Amino acid sequence: MTTTTKTANGAAAADATTDGATTKKRGPAASLPAREEGHAGDWRDFRPALKDKLASAACWATGSSWLTACVSAMIPAHKLVGAPKIDWFSRFFCRGLVKTATWSSWRSVVHPAVSEDEQYIFAQNHINHFDFVSMYPATRHYKQGLELETHFRYPVYGPFMESRGTIPVPAERSERLPAIKKHIASEVAAGRSILAFPEGTRTLNGRVGDFRKGVFVIARDLGLKVAPTAVTGMYCAMRKGSLLIRPGQEITVYIDEPVDFAGVSDEELPAKVEEVRSAIARRVDAYFESKYGA
């Protein structure tokens, strides 16, 4: 099932949203919200039975077939006519990959304040390898992603991301912020939006972790709005550290009211960042509460 709705209700690729040379030092990994154990829905201790492994293998087979067929056609099309001109097919491809690789339903719930005629930075919770494709069809915006430049060396995946103009993230942290800002400014000037993952790493327990401020500094400097984007159900389908896919989930993409970062001061920035993070976390926590009662 695939549905898209608009609502005003409710709150709310790599390590690409770094703070550059001013990356915040962190405490022990276990202290981060997205790494703590004991949360309802955390399935790191799940031990799959034979039927789970067979179902996962079937998902990989159907998903890989869809991926290979579509990407093989899209790479030359990107080079011939440009990725934005076949964005309709990109959304079709993404919906199909979620369906064929996870055998799950998909829907989007988009706040009416999200305009198709405005460019945003979509800030999404970071879950698994399907993050980009699970969110992408939710709106008609052409969304450019960010990817470590070293990932462009990967077979198939690297050439595909490079062919659609994905923003390369330098391996050297001190070079990231100015390089990313330059690329984002160019994409926005061309009428495109940005999809970023401010946590900088995938969750271990399904919950939303701390946000790095780099992408929000860029939003402030470029006068952009940030759209809080929460994806629920996908952690239950696949988690970091495991190749097991658990089919039959209900995947929902929530895009809540954009937060304007234009004119925000350095002193005001942390509160604005937390406003975005809290909007996403409320959606994710509400999902786990409805599913597991905690």
User: How many Å apart are CA 169 and CA 183, to the nearest integer?
Assistant: 10
Mean pLDDT estimate for the chain? 89
Q: Report which of residues 176 and 91 the model is more confident about.
A: 91
Give the pLDDT mean for 11-40. Answer: 56
Q: Looking at the predicted structure, is the pLDDT value of residue 32 above 80?
A: no
| pLDDT tens per residue, range 161-171 | 899 999 988 88
Q: How confident is the model at residue 31 (pLDDT cuts 50, 70, 90)?
A: low
Give the pLDDT mean for 48-75. Answer: 97
pLDDT winner (highest mean) among 31-35, 105-109, 146-150: 105-109
CATH number for the domain harbouring residue 212: 3.40.1130
Domain ranges, residue 191: 2-23+31-292
Q: Looking at the predicted structure, is the pLDDT value of residue 233 above 90?
A: yes
Q: Can you give the pLDDT at residue 26?
A: 45
User: How many Å apart are CA 193 and CA 213, to the nearest integer?
Assistant: 18
| pLDDT tens per residue, range 110-161 | 999 999 999 999 999 999 999 999 999 999 999 999 988 888 888 888 889 8
Q: Looking at the predicted structure, is the pLDDT value of residue 29 above 60?
A: no
Q: Looking at the predicted structure, is the pLDDT value of residue 273 above 60?
A: yes
- Range list of β-strands (E), the chain: 2-6, 105-110, 120-124, 143-144, 146-148, 167-169, 193-196, 225-232, 250-255, 259-260
Q: Looking at the predicted structure, is the pLDDT value of residue 8 above 70?
A: no
Q: Can you give the pLDDT at residue 20?
A: 39
175-184: list long-range contacts, CB under 8 Å, 24+ apart.
175/20, 176/16, 176/18, 176/20, 176/214, 177/18, 177/19, 177/20, 177/21, 177/214, 177/217, 177/218, 178/20, 180/16, 180/146, 180/214, 180/215, 180/218, 181/218, 181/221, 181/222, 184/121, 184/218, 184/222
User: How many Å apart are CA 133 and CA 131, to the nearest integer?
Assistant: 6
Q: Can you give the pLDDT at residue 61?
A: 98
Q: How confident is the model at residue 30 (pLDDT cuts 50, 70, 90)?
A: very low
The domain total for the chain is: 1
Q: Can you give the pLDDT at residue 113?
A: 98
Least confident stretch, 73-87, 114-128, 171-185, 212-226: 171-185
Q: Can you give the pLDDT at residue 35?
A: 92
User: In angstroms, how far is CA 45 from the centroid of its own chain?
Assistant: 25
Give the pLDDT mean for 266-278. Answer: 97
